[in-house]
Amino acid sequence: MLRHAEHVMGTVFSFAVRDPGPDTAAALRRIVERLHRIDAVFSPYRPDSDISRLDRGETTLEACDPEVAQVLDRCREIAAETGGRFTERPHGRLDPSGWVKGWAVEEASRALRTAGSRDHSVSGGGDVQTAGGPWRIGIADPLRPGALAAVVTGRDLAVATSGPAERGDHIVDPVRGRPATGLASLTLVGRTLARTDALATAAFAMGPERAIEWVAAHPDVAGLAVHPDGRRERTPGFARHLAPADAATWQLPAPLRTAG
8 Å CB contact between 197 and 222: no
**248 confidence band (pLDDT: 50, 70, 90):** very low
Q: Which of 47-56, 157-166, 207-216 has the lowest mean pLDDT?
A: 157-166
What is the predicted pLDDT for the residue at 181? 80
What is the rounded CA–CA span in Å between residue 259 and residue 216?
A: 7
Give the closest residue to 27 by CA, choosing from 100, 123, 133, 117. 117
8 Å CB contact between 214 and 186: no
Q: Which fold has domain 2-258?
A: T-fold (3.10.520)
- For residue 52, pLDDT over 80 is answered with yes
Give the mean model confidence (pLDDT) for residues 4-21.
97
**Average pLDDT score over the chain:** 91
**27 confidence band (pLDDT: 50, 70, 90):** very high
Phi and psi at 194, nearest 5°, equal: -55, -50
Domain ranges in the chain are 2-258
* pLDDT digit string, tens, across residues 129-187: 999 999 999 999 999 999 999 999 999 999 999 987 555 456 777 877 677 788 999 99
Give the mean model confidence (pLDDT) for residues 106-123.
97
